Amino acid sequence: MFSLTLAETAAALRKRQFSASELTETYLAAVEALNPRLNAFITPTPELAREQAAAADRALAAGEAGPLAGIPLGIKDLFCTKGVRTTAASRILAPFVPPYESTVTEHLRRDGAVFLGKTNLDEFAMGSSNITSAFGPVTNPWTRPSDAAPLVPGGSSGGSAAAVAARLALGATATDTGGSIRQPASFCGVAGIKPTYGRCSRWGIVAFASSLDQAGPLARTVEDCALLLNSMAGFDPKDSTSADRQVPDFAAASRRGVKGLRIGVPREYQSDGMPPEIAALWQQGLSWLREAGATLHDVSLPHTKYGLATYYIVAPAEASANLARYDGVRFGARVEGEDLDSMYENTRGAGFGAEVKRRVLIGTYVLSAGYYDAYYLRAQKVRALILRDFLDVFRDVDALLTPTAPSAAFAQGERMDDPVKMYLNDVFTVPANMAGIPGLSVPAGLDARGLPLGLQVLGKPFDEETVLAVGAAVEKAAGFAALPSLRAGEARP
């Protein structure tokens, strides 16, 4: 069962080759066996999974099954799930049980999915390594053959990516504010797409930076991502930034091919410091697309070089405002004090980890009187230029191909002493968030140490269809079949 993709599993369930309950038991057993080593799930939800699987079996028997009936998923612990603890990997939300369901997970429930549990992440989705989780780091199921050092899965959706890579789930929800779907996808050898800002509702997702946050799926294949996105996406009147647009058939789009498409190669992504094997893989990806019938074009995105600097102003600014609500009164944990102010201080002092505090400090600073114009307003202006660059380029080309991340997965403990070094991970992914455009990462090869590397496809606003088609073409040519050393085995229930 573990070797089947999501699409293949959905077909097998419809043919009754096995039941949703059998499938769920198989995956739950795998979670129980491997989660102690991976820490991919903060809160497994076996009872909920069994209930949903039984309901899926009834729907399948009655011929009324939704498109994801019986499909076991991981849910990033940033999506509120009614009656199931939702922590955002923070001590401050450790006791929080939402009385409501996020729109994205509501859609997945509607379509029959099975929730295996809530997956681990960086605290409040701030990070690139899952090191900042209050529930302990996630371990990447991949290891370098040369040494057994535990590697990071990337972040912030590292628990979701590790769970999919280790075959503890057929897919998972994730969110991407500056790269948190695409970078962990690259580090764990799975596919992931951040759709256009507004494509998926943010309602019921714990907010990090509201103008950047976007939900999307992680799965083994591009087609599987498309199937999940078809369910997750859609207009939601409860989110004022949700786009009132038809949801196209993304899965069909992923099979379109790339014949005649114009692919842009952004000059500014070719930094001198790029490791040669990443540069080589990028060239390889471009040749694959040319062989599949696309044409290649040099393009320039002159303001992209300011992406990272402006992201680390806008994201902390919005985070500092969003996190003001955790005051010990309305949500989660509370630490008493002598008076109201000291209760706030004690609660926030004990509830937030170091990285979250750093972001709140930076955010408060750039929003404060006297600095607002110099930093925040300026960053917003540059952001408009970053978007304009993309829109200019997309008049000539249909999509862009770039590397996803500047390195493969690194070891736990590496780059931990210097937050700025950690922020550099996002250099290729952040511009898409600043511009709100869709971006996908697809596993394309292994580095010299045997670790997965992803390539990133960027597309026009609301043209996920082309992004998926290009991603699927890269996937097909790459034929990426390597598997991590730690994964669920092929066991029958």
CA–CA separation, 315 and 177 (whole Å): 8
Which of 98/155 has CB closer to ligand GLN? 155
Task: Verify binding: residue 444, ligand GLN, rule CB under 6 A.
Answer: no
Count of residues touching ligand GLN (by CB under 6 A): 14
What backbone phi and psi angles, to 5 degrees, belong to 345?
A: -65, -45
Which of 176/236 has CB closer to ligand GLN? 176
Would residue 180 show up in a list of annotated catalytic residues for this protein? yes
Q: Quick one: which H or E segment has residue 481?
A: none
Task: Verify binding: residue 426, ligand GLN, rule CB under 6 A.
Answer: yes
Task: Verify binding: residue 90, ligand GLN, rule CB under 6 A.
Answer: no
Task: Verify binding: residue 440, ligand GLN, rule CB under 6 A.
Answer: no
The span of 57-65, 123-131, 249-257, 259-267 binding ligand GLN (CB under 6 A) equals 123-131
Catalytic residue of the set 19, 21, 76, 129: 76
Establish how many alpha carbons lie within 13 A of residue 91's alpha carbon, considering only the half-sphere containing its beta carbon: 17
Catalytic residue of the set 102, 128, 133, 180: 180
The DSSP secondary-structure symbol of 411 reads: B
Enumerate the β-bridge partners of residue 298: 265
Reduced 3-state DSSP string for 147-163: CCCCECCCCCCHHHHHH
Tell me the closest approach of the beta carbon of residue 179 to ligand GLN, in angstroms.
5
Q: Do β-strands 72-76 and 114-119 pair in parallel, antiparallel, or remain unpaired?
A: parallel
Which of 52/177 has CB closer to ligand GLN? 177
CA distances from 445 to 16, 255, 428, 442 (A): 35, 21, 18, 9
Which of 179/471 has CB closer to ligand GLN? 179
Among 101, 176, 236, 475, binds ligand GLN (CB under 6 A): 176
CA distances from 375 to 56, 274, 309 (A): 51, 29, 10
- Reduced to 3 states, what is the DSSP secondary structure of residue 489? coil
Among 4, 69, 125, 205, binds ligand GLN (CB under 6 A): 125
Among 139, 180, 186, 196, binds ligand GLN (CB under 6 A): 180
DSSP notation for 53-67: HHHHHHHHHTT---T
Tell me the closest approach of the beta carbon of residue 433 to ligand GLN, in angstroms.
7
Would residue 76 show up in a list of annotated catalytic residues for this protein? yes
Task: Verify binding: residue 123, ligand GLN, rule CB under 6 A.
Answer: no
Task: Verify binding: residue 44, ligand GLN, rule CB under 6 A.
Answer: no
Catalytic residue of the set 156, 160, 201, 320: 156
CA–CA separation, 473 and 276 (whole Å): 23
Among 127, 195, 443, 459, binds ligand GLN (CB under 6 A): 127
CA–CA separation, 36 and 184 (whole Å): 20
Enumerate the β-bridge partners of residue 452: 446
CA–CA separation, 316 and 126 (whole Å): 9
CA distances from 302 to 199, 307, 382, 386 (A): 27, 10, 11, 8
Task: Verify binding: residue 128, ligand GLN, rule CB under 6 A.
Answer: yes
Question: Cis omega before residue 156 (within 30°)?
Answer: yes
Site string for ligand GLN, 315-334 (x = CB under 6 A): x-------------------
Task: Verify binding: residue 89, ligand GLN, rule CB under 6 A.
Answer: no
Among 7, 10, 23, 126, binds ligand GLN (CB under 6 A): 126
Task: Map the footprint of ligand GLN across residues 381-410, applying CB under 6 A.
Answer: none
* Binding region for ligand GLN (CB under 6 A): 125-128, 155-156, 176-180, 208, 315, 426
Catalytic residue ranges: 76, 156, 180
